[in-house]
């Protein structure tokens, strides 16, 4: 059970300001992915190396996934404020290196550095919120988090297009500097956390094994079907490396004095179900963000220049229902019902989207998308709250890292599986047949999304609704090892 150490009621405004600073950091990583994606064609034109273009994305995704659980554990051991600030600093450093990169190879290296920093931004923000706000009160901040996600998803492509056309692609990276600086200063001045006295060593052997397993899996899902055939020696080698390194990691965690991922957290049924929800919600979100705009642009003739706006019918419900569900959870203490309703809404939306044809009007697609938005809004933030409420305060960082990692891996695997479906029906089609191919692949993808959402529903039903600890209870049960001070 989570025992958040929170300020007294008179400091609620100060907590809100501190959380706002954390959201700046989350926005930093959200915006970057979409802004850089928009600038890709111009980057290739200036630097060349078109054959290496995919590595600009892969290097970032790889180091982000590998370092996410490490950042979470480091926060548990050495202070979450300190680790969050370190992640922001590394991200800014990587942005500067990317902005001045003279070649594609050096740009890829800089993106790897950026990814290391990005690995600590989301997990750090959610873990710090877990320190500041008890689970019962956390619903008040769900709407704010949803707004940041929506702003990054919708605003990123728009800002990226404006910056690339008006200032040049290097400013797609330099734009991170002012926002990163504001985040560092804001968090440094307004975020105060208790000092946690823990003597422990980082399980670097476990970190290496986990990094190898994640790297092999991400490379398999990224390259499979494009760079390498699914049925090939290279694919089998990566799959075997994933399994062997993963098994070795579990073996190591059972014996480490301070494991990177305490396997005991999976003894909680609710945490295990939250982990499954994190994985499936990542898969669903990636399918929507990648393939719905593709259908709208190719089949329905929507403008690619405003691709972010195409997701408005989904992102507006995400913000609204996240806010409503969060407030309701805070008032009643009940939360299990929300991911259940969310999974059902996602199933309905996915089934409807799986019926689309070349003749489906855009307003009908928008209506179907709203069901997906309702589902995401009721599931994504609740997943983190359920996970954090299921573990001890000392393990919140590790728990947040696990859920964030699984959400990322769910998206990576979804891209691989759904990309194969898309390629089977749309790739290589002549212009006259492209619309029909894209429509067919979209139907298949969202039929698979409906099955994925059914797994989410089963996981949501399996959650054991443990009472959320409130403010007074959290204050009364603060660990004795905590003392005042900022870290």
Tens of pLDDT, residue by residue over 104-120, are: 889 999 999 999 999 88
Same domain, residue pair 269 and 170: no
Q: Which residues of 27-41 are buried (b: 16+ CB within 10 A; e: fewer)?
A: bbbbbbbbbbbbbbe
- Give the alpha-carbon dihedral of 379, 383, 385, 386, to 10 degrees: 120
**Looking at the structure, do residues 146 and 211 belong to the same domain, yes or no?**
no
Alpha-carbon distance of 481 to 79, in angstroms, equals 13
* pLDDT surpassing 70 at residue 485: no
Residue entry with tokens 């959380």:
19
Give the count of alpha carbons within 13 A of 167, CB side only: 14
Q: Is residue 43 domain-shared with residue 130, that is, in the same domain?
A: yes
Q: Which two tokens stand for residue 485?
A: 């001070």
**Mean model confidence pLDDT for the chain:** 81
316 and 182 in a common domain: no
CA–CA separation, 92 vs 24, rounded Å?
13
- Selection from 343, 344, 346, 364 nearest residue 355 by Cα: 364
Closest to 372 measured CA to CA, from 445, 275, 287 = 287
pLDDT of residue 452: 94
Contact 394, 269 (CB under 8 A): no
Task: Give yes or no: residues 322 and 175 share one domain.
Answer: no
pLDDT on residue 371:
95
Lowest mean pLDDT among 89-98, 108-117, 294-303: 294-303
Report the 10 Å Cβ neighbour count for 229: 12
139 and 285, same domain (yes or no): no
For residue 97, tell me if it sits in a domain. Answer: yes
Please check whether residues 320 and 464 belong to one and the same domain. yes
483 - beta bridge partners? 195
Cα-based distances in Å from 135 to 22, 302, 363: 17, 42, 38
Highest mean pLDDT out of 13-22, 170-179, 324-333, 335-344? 335-344
* Inside any domain, residue 329: yes
Q: 5-9, 98-102, 231-235, 468-472: which range is least confident on average?
A: 5-9
The pLDDT value recorded for residue 486 is 38
CA separation for the pair 89, 87 (Å, rounded):
5
What mean pLDDT do residues 283-307 have? 79
For 189, residues 6+ apart whose C-beta sits below 8 A from its C-beta are none
Has residue 480 been placed in a domain?
no
pLDDT by residue (tens digit) across 446-483? 999 999 999 999 999 999 888 775 553 444 334 333 33
Residue 358 carries which DSSP code? T
Q: Give domain status of residue 383, yes or no.
A: yes
Same domain, 61 and 84: yes
Share of the chain above pLDDT 70, in %: 86
Q: Give the span between the Cα atoms of 341 and 460, in whole angstroms.
A: 9
- 225/354 same-domain check: no
> What's the pTM value of the predicted model, to 2 decimals?
0.79
The answer to whether position 476 is within a domain reads no
Residue range of the domain that includes 82: 1-197
Output the pLDDT for position 92.
94
| 367 part of a folded domain | yes
In the chain, the number of structural domains is 3
Q: Find, among 316, 353, 282, the residue nearest to 65 by Cα.
A: 282
Average pLDDT over residues 30-51: 75
Which has more confidence, 94 or 225? 94
* Position 477 in a domain: no
Those residues whose C-beta lies under 8 Å from the C-beta of residue 421, and which sit 6 or more positions away, are 441, 444, 445, 448
The domain boundary residue, chosen from 150, 173, 197: 197
Is the same domain home to 250 and 345? no
Q: Are residues 234 and 114 in the same domain?
A: no
The Cα–Cα gap between 150 and 154 comes to 6
- 131 has pLDDT over 70: yes
The answer on 222 and 285 residing in a single domain is no
The answer to whether the CB of 343 falls within 8 A of the CB of 453 is yes
Local structure of residue 483 (DSSP, 8 states): E
Facing residues of 482 across strands?
A: 196
Read off the pLDDT of each residue in 422-444 and give the average, rounded to a whole number. Answer: 76
- Give, in order, the Cα–Cα distances in Å from 48 to each of 54, 103, 167: 13, 8, 19
Please name the residues in contact with 164: beta carbons below 8 A apart, sequence gap of 6 or more.
38, 39, 42, 171, 172
pLDDT at 487 over 50: no
Which pair of structure tokens corresponds to residue 403? 């859920």
pLDDT tens sequence across 422-432:
877 766 565 55
Which of 215, 241, 257 is a domain's end point? Answer: 257
Nearest one of 182, 33, 168 to 111, comparing CA atoms = 33
Task: Supply φ then ψ for residue 381, to 5 degrees.
Answer: -75, -35
For residue 223, name the pLDDT band (cuts at 50, 70, 90). confident
Instruction: Kindly report, residue by residue over 398-411, the tens digit of the pLDDT.
Output: 787 888 888 888 88
For position 171, which CATH number holds?
1.20.1250.20
Select from 224, 251, 253 the least CA-distant residue to 238. Answer: 224
As a whole number of Å, the end-to-end CA separation of the chain is: 23
Structure confidence at residue 446 (pLDDT): 94
* Torsion, CA 286, CA 288, CA 293, CA 298, rounded to 10: 100
Which DSSP category does 304 fall into? G
DSSP E strand boundaries for 179-228: 195-196
């Amino acid at each position: 059970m989570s025992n958040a150490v929170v300020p007294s009621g008179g400091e609620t405004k100060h907590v809100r300001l501190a959380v706002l600073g954390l959201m700046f950091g989350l926005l930093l990583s959200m915006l970057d992915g979409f802004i850089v994606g928009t600038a890709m064609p111009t980057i290739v034109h200036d630097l060349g190396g078109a054959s290496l273009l995919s590595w600009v994305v892969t290097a970032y995704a790889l180091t982000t996934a590998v370092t996410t659980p490490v950042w979470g554990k480091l926060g548990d051991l050495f202070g979450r404020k300190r680790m969050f600030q370190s992640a922001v600093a590394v991200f800014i450093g990587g942005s500067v290196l990317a902005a001045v990169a003279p070649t594609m190879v050096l740009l890829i290296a800089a993106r790897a550095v950026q990814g290391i920093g990005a690995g600590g931004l989301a997990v750090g923000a959610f873990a710090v919120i877990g320190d500041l706000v008890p689970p019962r009160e956390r619903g008040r901040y769900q709407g704010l988090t949803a707004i940041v996600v929506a702003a990054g998803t919708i605003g990123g492509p728009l800002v990226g297009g404006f910056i690339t056309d008006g200032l040049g692609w290097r400013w797609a990276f330099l734009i991170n500097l002012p926002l990163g600086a504001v985040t560092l200063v804001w968090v440094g001045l307004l975020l105060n956390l208790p000092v946690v006295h823990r003597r422990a060593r980082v399980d670097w052997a476990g970190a290496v094994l986990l990094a190898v397993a994640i790297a092999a899996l991400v490379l398999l899902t990224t390259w499979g079907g494009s760079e390498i055939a699914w049925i090939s020696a290279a694919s089998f080698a990566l799959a075997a490396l994933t399994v062997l390194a993963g098994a070795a990691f579990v073996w190591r965690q059972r014996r480490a004095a301070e494991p990177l991922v305490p396997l005991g957290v999976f003894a909680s049924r609710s945490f295990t179900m939250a982990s499954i929800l994190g994985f499936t919600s990542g898969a669903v979100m990636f399918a929507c963000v990648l393939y719905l705009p593709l259908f709208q642009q190719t089949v329905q003739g929507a403008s690619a220049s405003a691709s972010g706006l195409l997701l408005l019918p989904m992102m507006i419900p995400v913000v609204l229902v996240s806010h409503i569900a969060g407030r309701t959870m805070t008032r009643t203490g009940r939360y299990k019902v929300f991911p259940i309703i969310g999974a059902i809404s996602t199933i309905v939306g996915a089934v409807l989207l799986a019926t689309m044809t070349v003749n489906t009007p855009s307003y009908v697609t928008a209506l179907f998308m709203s069901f997906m938005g309702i589902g995401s809004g009721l599931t994504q933030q609740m997943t983190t709250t359920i996970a954090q409420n299921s573990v001890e305060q000392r393990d919140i960082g590790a728990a947040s890292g696990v859920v964030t990692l699984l959400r990322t891996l769910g998206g990576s695997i979804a891209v691989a599986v759904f990309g194969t479906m898309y390629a089977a029906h749309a790739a290589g089609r002549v212009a006259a047949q492209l619309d029909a191919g894209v429509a067919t692949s979209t139907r298949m993808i969202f039929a698979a999304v409906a099955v994925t959402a059914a797994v989410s529903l089963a996981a949501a039903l399996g959650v054991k609704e443990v009472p959320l600890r409130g403010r007074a209870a959290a204050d009364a049960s603060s660990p004795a090892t905590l003392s005042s001070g900022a870290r």
